Amino acid sequence: MSRNSKYVVVLVLIVFLFSFYALASASNLGIRNLREGTEGADVKELQSKLNELGYEVGVDGLFGPQTAAQVKQFQSEYGLSADGIVGSQTLFALKKLTELVEHRVQPGESIYILARRYNTSIAEIKDLNKLDSDIIRAGQKLKIPSPALGGSGGEEVYINVSYQVRVGDSLSVLASRYNSSVNKIMEKNNLTSNNIRAGQEIKIPRRLEPIDVKRTAVTQQRSQFIWPARGRITSGYGYRTHPITNRRQLHTGIDIALPTGTPVKAAASGRVINSTWLSGFGYTVIIEHDEGKETLYAHNSRLVVNAGDEVRQGEVIAYSGSTGQSTGPHLHFEIRVNDNPVDPKKKLPR
């Protein structure tokens, strides 16, 4: 083999390896199946979408055990095969669930009508738009969760994948590989012919496999509770260094920043079993619910219920404050199941 021929072989090998690396490290969610051990910007995007839906996972671009566990939980809740692998159907669910519809309220429409039309709940619409009542007015713009994943009426759902053309690629090959079509790729990239060249950057609309989503009991349990107050979460559930004792310990609930005097509502109907001062928690209310569940509301400035009272979901039970071991006005909220604390965000509406 001549010297020039060797140079050509090496050059082709370098181009191939570079193209393979570009494919493996692509930043767009959807270019490859994601599973434990993968990493990159697409993993980071996946983690962001999971967080957006209320699944707590670090956004670090590393598909580790925590991400795998949250993916499996998501898949289980939405009737998917809980294998921890993010493929076409899991992507379809993620895309649809994180899409929002903007709706301008028409005369005669109510929040109940919109919830029925878009196959969602009144609570989700109110939470998404930070509404304090069910009253809406004509002309008002509302964000609505995307329509149900099942019953999409044959709608095709695509996710755009950034791709660098490799030697030997053609539009027909790429269309087959990404469940797309030559016409859609040409339209997306404003191509006047189906000629593409190695190194060219294009967008490929990848069609996702539709699914008929059936939420399981896990999701039904999540909707049993409502948020006790609206505010920014300043500390989530999990291990942390306590801001006062400086000791690392389990934070058994979530902290919601609230101005002093904000109404605190019962997250679910039940019986008040404690309404008093508790060491560390300050003025605290504990409510007992069905199936061994309890909710706890701490650091309040004033309590308005007594032990033994029956309360309804949404009823004001206290007013927020900063009593007990607290660095500022906020509500410490817990959900306990059989006396064991669980992450409230996994039980609350998303």
Cα-based distances in Å from 23 to 17, 119, 163, 307 = 10, 38, 7, 62
Query: Domain of 138?
Result: 100-145
Q: Is residue 295 part of a domain?
A: yes
The per-residue pLDDT for 154 is 44
pLDDT at residue 124, as a whole number: 72
- What is the C-alpha separation between 129 and 121, in angstroms, rounded? 13
Residue 272's pLDDT is: 94
d(CA 168, CA 176): 14
CATH number of the domain where residue 121 is located? 3.10.350.10
Same-domain check for residues 138 and 246:
no
Q: Is residue 242 located within the same domain as residue 341? A: yes
Does residue 288 lie within any of the structural domains?
yes
Structural domain includes residue 289:
yes
Q: Which of 49, 55, 58 is nearest to 30 (CA)?
A: 49
Residue 253's CATH number: 2.70.70.10
- Domain assignment present for residue 31? The answer is no
| The pLDDT value given to residue 287 | 95
The CA–CA distances, whole Å, from 298 to 22, 156, 284, 334 equal 51, 48, 4, 9
Q: What is the pLDDT along the chain (350 residues), one digit of tens a residue?
A: 555 555 544 454 544 444 444 443 344 666 678 899 998 888 888 888 887 666 778 888 899 998 998 888 888 766 677 889 988 778 877 876 666 677 888 888 888 888 766 666 777 788 778 788 888 998 898 877 654 443 334 456 677 777 889 998 999 988 888 788 899 899 989 999 989 999 999 988 877 665 544 444 334 444 578 899 988 888 888 876 766 667 777 888 999 989 999 999 999 899 999 999 998 899 999 999 988 899 999 999 999 999 999 898 889 999 999 998 888 899 999 999 888 888 898 888 86
> pLDDT at position 266, please?
93
- Side chain identity at 89, as an amino acid letter? Q
pLDDT of residue 78: 67
Examine residue 318 and state whether it is found in any structural domain, yes or no: yes
Domain end, chosen from 113, 129, 145, is at 145
Do residues 229 and 324 share a domain?
yes
**How far is the C-alpha of 71 from the C-alpha of 76, rounded, in Å?**
9
End position of a domain, from candidates 86, 120, 145:
145
Domains contained in the chain, number: 2
CA-closest candidate to residue 317, choices 344, 341, 296: 296
Q: Is residue 297 part of a domain?
A: yes
Does any domain span residue 315? Answer: yes
Residue 254 lies in a domain: yes
pTM for the model: 0.41
Query: Which residue, 92, 121, 145, sits at the end of a domain?
Result: 145
Q: Are residues 229 and 140 in the same domain?
A: no
